[in-house]
Amino acid sequence: MIAAIGITLLTGAIAGGGIAKAFGLSGKAFAAGGLGAYAAAAGVSLVGSLLLSSLVPPPTVSTGKTISNAGASSAEGNILEPNGPVQRALGQRKMFPPLAGEPLIYFDGPDEVVEAIFVLAGPHLISDIRVGAAAIEGLSNVEFETREGWPGDPPISMVKRQSRTEPLQSELCGFTVSADDGLTLESPAGDFSAALPQPATLASREAPDEQWLRLIWPGGINRNASDTSFLRVPLGIRIRRVGNADWINLPEMHFAAATQRQMRATIPLVWVADAALTPSAAPTEGWVEAHISAPAQTLSPTSEPWAADPYFDDAQVTPGSMRAMSARPGSRIWR
């Protein structure tokens, strides 16, 4: 800022005949108001501005790296760039509108659903929308809504929420067993703790309305490729507020399947004032049971019993009994 003020004062002095006075030049070229004085002032101003821009670049907000094609939205060419410019079309042209925010990607049963908003700067007449090379009107699994952006146009109504997706790239590990029989725990130097399932930890953003946990079984859940021998995967989840030492145990949930295809499920944690919900269980595949308590393993390696917070136990459910929960993969587990 000080340098910019100095350049302004210097160019003003040059335009006022400063060069002629400093070097004792005679004539009207570099006198106050002369052509040479104005040209010299313009040159000093240009060179000074370039030097300032190279030495002290304009301030920017640090937002991390650019995210291109976030998630699996298949938004080819549509860039999500924090604090980046929003395009505007002059005339008629083909454009790839940038994403207004991160796409919300979630599972709905076996389907993967994407919600995304694309923006342009100012009102635009939009036509011939395409996904790749296909016209959007001919795609059966795509719902869309447009708003040209003129004053008085109603706001979009299809998407009413925003999200932040943070891929953990974390694998939930099961028991490490011997390759000989597939049953005996494999423990180097007799340490069985390393062969047990290990916890995965994650943190939400500050005060979210919902926190979704997405689970993927790439190879399905099966025993010897049988489509009738259902296997269960128990999941024990606990939560706590940052700074608190005490954990809150949620019910132990059981996901069952007998398939080699990829299985996907979502566990939404929803913070609402009214927590009333009538849960139901899937008949065969999906979330089939939830237990408010699970016994400890007494044989070596031993484990601690699992007991859900008393919030999940009411007068009609006794400790140790089963509570049925959700309907199908991707549906809500509780509120």
Query: In this structure, what is the dihedral angle of CA atoms 61, 66, 69, 70, given to the nearest 10 degrees?
Result: -70
Residue 321 clears pLDDT 50, i.e. is over it: no
Residue 334 lies in a domain: no
75 and 158 both lie in a single domain? yes
Rounded Cα distance between 63 and 84, Å, is 10
H/E segment holding residue 13: helix 2-15
Residue 34 lies in a domain: yes
Mean pLDDT of 42-56: 78
231 and 289 both lie in a single domain? yes
Amino acid at 255: F
Listed residues 141, 174, 198: the one ending a domain: 198
Non-local (6+) Cβ contacts of 190 within 8 A are none
Of residues 105 and 23, more confidence is placed in 105
Residue 288, phi then psi, degrees to nearest 5: -105, -30
pLDDT band at 182 (very low <50, low <70, confident <90, very high): confident
Residue 224 lies in a domain: yes
Which has the closest alpha carbon to 100: 76, 116, 124, 77? 116
Residue 236 lies in a domain: yes
235 and 304 both lie in a single domain? yes
Residue 69 lies in a domain: yes
Listed residues 198, 214, 249: the one ending a domain: 198
93 and 27 both lie in a single domain? no
303 and 219 both lie in a single domain? yes
Residue 328 clears pLDDT 70, i.e. is over it: no
- Say if residues 326 and 104 touch (Cβ distance below 8 Å): no
pLDDT value of residue 61? 53
Rounded Cα distance between 10 and 14, Å, is 6
Number of folded domains in the chain?
4
Rounded Cα distance between 31 and 40, Å, is 11
Query: In this structure, what token pair is assigned to residue 129?
Result: 């929308």
pLDDT band at 34 (very low <50, low <70, confident <90, very high): confident
- Say if residues 99 and 118 touch (Cβ distance below 8 Å): yes
pLDDT value of residue 333? 35
- Long-range (24+ apart) CB contacts under 8 A made by 276-280 are 276/335, 277/332, 277/334, 277/335, 279/323, 279/324, 279/325, 279/326, 279/333, 279/334, 280/324, 280/325, 280/326, 280/327
210 and 304 both lie in a single domain? yes
Residue 330 lies in a domain: no
pLDDT band at 275 (very low <50, low <70, confident <90, very high): low
- Say if residues 78 and 98 touch (Cβ distance below 8 Å): yes
pLDDT value of residue 315? 43
Residue 323, phi then psi, degrees to nearest 5: -120, 120
Residue with tokens 């390759």: 179
Q: Does the pTM of the predicted model rise above 0.75?
A: no
- Say if residues 118 and 131 touch (Cβ distance below 8 Å): no
Residue 64 clears pLDDT 50, i.e. is over it: no
pLDDT value of residue 146? 92
- Say if residues 324 and 279 touch (Cβ distance below 8 Å): yes
209 and 308 both lie in a single domain? yes
Residue 259 lies in a domain: yes
Q: Which residues form the domain of 14?
A: 2-55
Three-class SS of residue 22?
Answer: helix
pLDDT value of residue 40? 79
pLDDT value of residue 316? 45
Q: Which of 8-12, 119-123, 151-155, 202-206 has the lowest mean pLDDT?
A: 8-12
